[in-house]
Amino acid sequence: MGRGLYIHIPICRSKCYYCDFASYPLNRFTERDLDLYVLAIEYELKHLLSQETRPVELTSVYVGGGTPPLIDTSRLVLIMEAVHKYFDLATGCELTVELNPLTCTPETLRGLAKAGFNRFSLGVQSFDDYTLMKLGRAHSAQEARAAIGLLKENFDNISFDLIYGVPDDDPARWKRDLETALEFDPDHLSLYSLQVEEDTPLAQLIKRGFCDPVDEGLQADQWDWACDRLYPTDYRHYEISNWAKPGKESRHNLGYWLYDPYYGVGAGASGFLDGQRYRNTSDPWEYTQIMRSSLKGRFPAAEFVERLTPEQMAAERIILALRTADGLNLEDIPGMSSAEFWRRYGEKLTYYREMGLVWRRRQRIGLTEAGMALSNRIFLMFMP
Ligand code: SF4
């Protein structure tokens, strides 16, 4: 049985203005806290495995955050040793680590190689210092360039994250950023529109009038421009926000969109197993405490567990698959036949197909690029 594994390291140097992920500044952790956190991850891995009745093989491991190398690569080595100790890894298992430009030093990269990572996801976000400042990023454009140079000298299979649609954005800035990224020839690109989440410093800045709200029209134009720019290149637009060279798609993230089960380990991590979604407490100290006690239940650190109804599972399966370029195989919808799918949604989908938003090939349907641009509206019809 193949599964993904996500491990969360909820630690950053400082908090970016737009961030609502579970992450805490490094200076709140003692060395002992970090050691105990690593041990807690090992306990959770062991516990999750003890709940299985059949052997499990991991097809991908993704260590994200946060900024994982901040806990020191010697601790990442211990975490990866624990993964190998408790789970079998499939041949060619994808092992991704998230990086921040400030953590890319020769010493860190040596440590990441020792930990066995074979894919590197760098949070560049922008090559423009003013934009980085507006986002509250702790690194400069020059530091991002230096980090990329170092990564490329040492590894292949490198992905960049870039953000568009920041407040007071300039279309020329986005074009320059994407052109600069392409000059570095990454294997994979994740292009995200900035989302203003409640209770973030950015939401406060906008509320108090210190910066303009995000311009959704501009965001749509910037996404369109990126699609047009990348269309004639080697990059395949394999998911709404993701482009990859052939064979360099993120196997881990594809697992999410293809509705494969995955473990979530660590404070704030989410998992999806046997029709249940769970999310661990986001407090790393509480998480560590729980893992050091006698563990009860399948998800002992979960602050949220939900068993999905058949309707929810069908809707999630449909929506997640439609995010991908390969679309949805109608025979893969849990609890819903292809005939039932067409009975429920056929009329609207035919209309969207006539508008050029949806394609159909035998038992498979998907969104065209024009459809992906309007995906949020199209997905509404599948909500239970
Ligand atoms: S580096 Fe990532 S996780 Fe950390 S604060 Fe910034 S956006 Fe959040």
Q: Any idea where the domains of the chain sit in the sequence?
A: 2-257, 328-382
Ligand 1 probe mutation, 6, 11, 16, most atoms within 8 A of CB: 16
Q: Which DSSP category does 214 fall into?
A: P
Q: What confidence category does residue 55 fall into, taking pLDDT thresholds of 50, 70 and 90? A: confident
Is the distance from the beta carbon of residue 12 to the nearest atom of ligand 1 less than 6 Å? yes
CA 167 to chain centre: 23
Question: Residue 16 has what pLDDT?
Answer: 94
Q: Residues 261-264: contacts with CB within 8 Å, 24+ apart?
A: 261/3, 261/4, 262/3, 262/4, 262/5, 262/6, 263/3, 263/4, 263/5, 263/6, 263/48, 264/6, 264/8
Q: What confidence category does residue 296 fall into, taking pLDDT thresholds of 50, 70 and 90? A: confident
**Residue 378, pLDDT above cutoff 90:** yes
Measured between alpha carbons, how far apart are the two ends of the chain, in Å? 29
**Residue 84, pLDDT above cutoff 80:** yes
Burial tier of 153 (Cβ tally within 10 Å: 0-12, 13-18, 19+): exposed
How much is the average pLDDT of 185-196? 97
Is the distance from the beta carbon of residue 100 to the nearest atom of ligand 1 less than 6 Å? yes
Bridge partners (DSSP) of residue 99 are: 122
129: amino acid identity, one letter: D
How much is the average pLDDT of 56-71? 96
Is the distance from the beta carbon of residue 11 to the nearest atom of ligand 1 less than 6 Å? no
146: amino acid identity, one letter: A
Which has the closest alpha carbon to 217: 178, 169, 251, 180?
A: 169
Question: Residue 306 has what pLDDT?
Answer: 97
Question: Residue 2 has what pLDDT?
Answer: 82
In residues, how long is the chain?
384
Bridge partners (DSSP) of residue 21 are: none
Is the distance from the beta carbon of residue 64 to the nearest atom of ligand 1 less than 6 Å? no
Question: Residue 10 has what pLDDT?
Answer: 97
Question: Residue 384 has what pLDDT?
Answer: 81
**Residue 22, pLDDT above cutoff 90:** no
Say if CB 333 and CB 345 are below 8 A apart: no
C-alpha 5 – ligand 1 centre gap (Å): 20
**Residue 1, pLDDT above cutoff 80:** no
Q: Whose CA is nearest to atom 5 of ligand 1?
A: 15
**Residue 290, pLDDT above cutoff 90:** yes
Q: What percent of the chain has pLDDT over 90?
A: 95
Ligand 1 probe mutation, 6, 8, 9, 12, most atoms within 8 A of CB: 12
Which has the closest alpha carbon to 147: 101, 90, 98, 91?
A: 101
Q: What is the mean pLDDT of the chain?
A: 96
* Fold type of domain 2-257: TIM Barrel (3.20.20)
Is the distance from the beta carbon of residue 159 to the nearest atom of ligand 1 less than 6 Å? no
